Amino acid sequence: MAKAYEYPAHRLSPENTAILLVDHQTGLIVGVQDHDQNEVRRNAMALARAGKVFELPVVASTSAATGPNGPLLPELIAELPPGTPIVHRDGEVDAFDDPAFEKAVRKTGRSNLVIAGVITDVCLTFAALSAKAKGFGVHAVLDASGTTNVLARETSLIRMQDAGIVVNSTAGVLSELLHDWRTPGGPGTAEILGRYAIPFYGAVTAGHGAAMPSGAPR
């Protein structure tokens, strides 16, 4: 079995992390049945917004965007940091089989990759396995990904964990990147959590009239 993830020695940070968003497309999102499609949309948008808040490089990709898979979600495009490369693959199933995608990822210079994809058992799993094999630390974000049924998600989860990939959530990634609510990223993180990743928290802070970072989840 692959070596376990070592926390906090290799924790995510704004200095060592890039975000990869694979195939969040208008056609593919319709097939998400293992959990709420809108939750997948929101969490993908949250990861994209994190690129702005933490000044992280983001790489996005599509597969056969002019065919039935459809274009990248427009609401996701709106949240991508300026200059984000979007690699349009013509046939490669594993995003890392496209030289342009791998080149864009390596250009980030980051050792940790946070990856989300639709669908989970293909777009996310294959990219995560390839990234891990190429020496990256990999976090697979399940709630920003989705697939056709729960069994497909669970088999993918086992396969990725056996390869030493960290399975994570959007809120978990954001909190690990933040480290401390007193840093400049605190207000931006609170906004992402309240608007996208854990909407109840936006209602909580609004109801109390609280200013961040006091009262932030820890």
List active site positions.
Answer: 123
CA 182 to chain CA mean position, Å:
24
List, in sequence order, every residue forming a beta bridge with 23; answer none if it has no partner: none
Residue 211, Cβ density class (10 Å: 0-12 exposed, 13-18 middle, ≥19 buried): exposed
Phi (first) and psi of residue 113, to 5 degrees? -120, 125
Q: With left for phi above 0 and alpha for psi between -120 and 50, is residue 116 left, alpha or beta?
A: beta
Measured in whole angstroms, how far is the alpha carbon of residue 115 from the centre of its chain? 5
